Amino acid sequence: MNIYKGRLRMVAVLALTVAVLALVVRWSPRQKGFARLTDCLSAYYEACGAGDATMYESCFADPLRSGTRRDSSDREHLASRLRQRAVKNWVVVAEPVADRPVRTVLVDEVREEGIERVRFRLEFLNSTWLIVGVDPVHRRQPPVAYGTDVRKVPDASRTQDEPPEPEETPEP
């Protein structure tokens, strides 16, 4: 019987150790914020698409964050506005430019009505990247409208001076 009691104690101590470790990991402070510029921008665009006002506000530094809260005290209205701002795709145009301590990033936002270039200014504050400024730069029309079936777009690689290739007709 003593062997069984010893094993039972060992299993109980092991289970208690695992439970304590799980609690420590669960309740340990997690690093909040964005370690990289692109993490912050990804969260921004994800929040816009999901209509997540809390995540959206977490991407901004003050005074932009407090201005957003002041302008849209109704969370449902802000969520609706965010979904309207959602983009189909976004692309970082060039490597971030360091304007110490602020970095400037140009992003092309692809929307149904066109492509808009936006300038984001991000700053590393309290161990996280946050947006400190957003400026639209310019809007342009894409070469092919969003949603167009590309199989129906004329071949752009052929110049206007070249004659079209003859179609093969079956021999009788």
127 within some domain: yes
Q: What pTM was computed for the model?
A: 0.61
11 within some domain: no
129 within some domain: yes
Type of residue at 64: L
6 within some domain: no
Please check whether residue 135 is in contact with residue 119, taking contact to mean a CB–CB distance below 8 angstroms. Answer: yes
73 within some domain: yes
Q: One digit per residue, pLDDT tens: the chain, 172 residues?
A: 577 777 888 888 888 888 877 776 666 544 467 888 889 999 999 988 888 888 888 999 988 777 666 555 666 766 777 777 678 889 998 777 776 788 999 999 888 778 889 999 999 988 899 999 988 887 777 777 777 787 877 765 544 444 555 555 555 5
98 SS3 class: strand
2 within some domain: no
53 within some domain: yes
> How distant is the alpha carbon of residue 24 from its chain centre?
31
Q: How far apart are CA 128 and CA 31, in angstroms?
A: 9
| Domain count for the chain | 1
122 within some domain: yes
CB proximity list for 36: less than 8 A, separation 6 or greater: 129
CATH code where residue 41 lies: 3.10.450.50
Q: How far apart are CA 94 and CA 100, in angstroms?
A: 17
State the alpha helices, DSSP H only, in the chain. Answer: 2-27, 37-50, 53-58, 64-71, 75-85
